[in-house]
Structure 1
Amino acid sequence: MMTTYYYLVASQKFLEEEAIEKEVLKERIRNYQEKGQEIDFWLIANPAFLDTPAFADIKKKTPQPAAAIVSLNQQFITWLKLRLEYVITGQFEAPSDSIPDPLK
């Protein structure tokens, strides 16, 4: 069964140093835990999906090493994009032949 994943990609340095993003992720995790809600987003260093042919152009545009926030929630990724500059967003279906593990 294919799942749609939404992503935000930027340089790893940018995502690690962006204080707003760190606080947002911490707050969102805390909020999910309080509600007993399952976490539906992940911060991934050097995401493997960028190494697939379909993402070659995005990888070229992203300073390396790259990092991604991957989520099942499109609104969350859109909300993050509005708060962060220098990011690329999109979506993909997985698991697939080219992306067997979307969270690596």
Structure 2
Amino acid sequence: MTTHHFIAASEAFLTREEPLEEVLRERARHYEETGRAIDFWLVPQPAFLEAPELAAATSAVPRPAAAVVSTDASFITFMKLRLEFVLRGQFEAPSATIPDPLASLVASASAASQVPSQASL
């Protein structure tokens, strides 16, 4: 199992009210310049928020939600400080209750967007 760190908030807050796109684009550019593999993803309506072990903490996140998930705890700490009004947490996956850490509840989305490959960025 791998520890995944995340920030979560309402989808509207993360995608329209905050400069998330700019922050993720800059981070992706930095990773490309330094030859580092992408280890963060923007997940619309993340399924892991519904896991029983996260229910108490994530119940305050307005739905529909979105999350930035990463295996890099420092990046998520930076995102929490940068965006402020988001929930920060972590979980272990794959597990019985979270088989896919990047799964989305959106019917048409089978997995999270790998930010640098998004045409809109």
What TM-score do the two structures reach when normalised by structure 2? 0.80
Corresponding pairs, count: 103
**1:43 aligned residue:** 42
Q: CA deviation at 1:59?
A: 3.3
**1:13 aligned residue:** 12
Which consecutive segments of 4 or more residues in structure 1 shift more than 6 A?
none
Where do 1:14-29 residues align within 5 Å? 14-29=13-28
* Cα distance in structure 1, aligned partners of 2:25 and 2:43: 15
Could you tell me which amino acid in structure 2 is paired with residue 39 of structure 1? I
Specify whether residues 15 and 33 from structure 1 end up closer, same or farther in structure 2 by C-alpha distance, changes over 3 A only. Answer: same
* Cα distance in structure 2, aligned partners of 1:66 and 1:19: 14
Other structure's SS at 1:80 match = helix
Most deviating of 56-65 and 2-11: 56-65
What's the Cα RMSD here? Answer: 1.2
Structure 1 position 71 matched with structure 2 position 70: yes
Unaligned runs of 5+ in 2: 104-121
* Cα distance in structure 2, aligned partners of 1:11 and 1:19: 11
* Cα distance in structure 2, aligned partners of 1:21 and 1:46: 16
**2:84 aligned residue:** 85
Q: Percent identity?
A: 54
Could you tell me which amino acid in structure 2 is paired with residue 77 of structure 1? I
* Cα distance in structure 1, aligned partners of 2:67 and 2:20: 12
Q: CA deviation at 1:57?
A: 2.1
* Cα distance in structure 1, aligned partners of 2:9 and 2:18: 14
Q: Which has the higher contact order (CA 8 A, sep 6+)?
A: 1
Unaligned runs of 5+ in 1: none
Which one has the bigger helix percentage? Answer: 1
**1:101 aligned residue:** 100
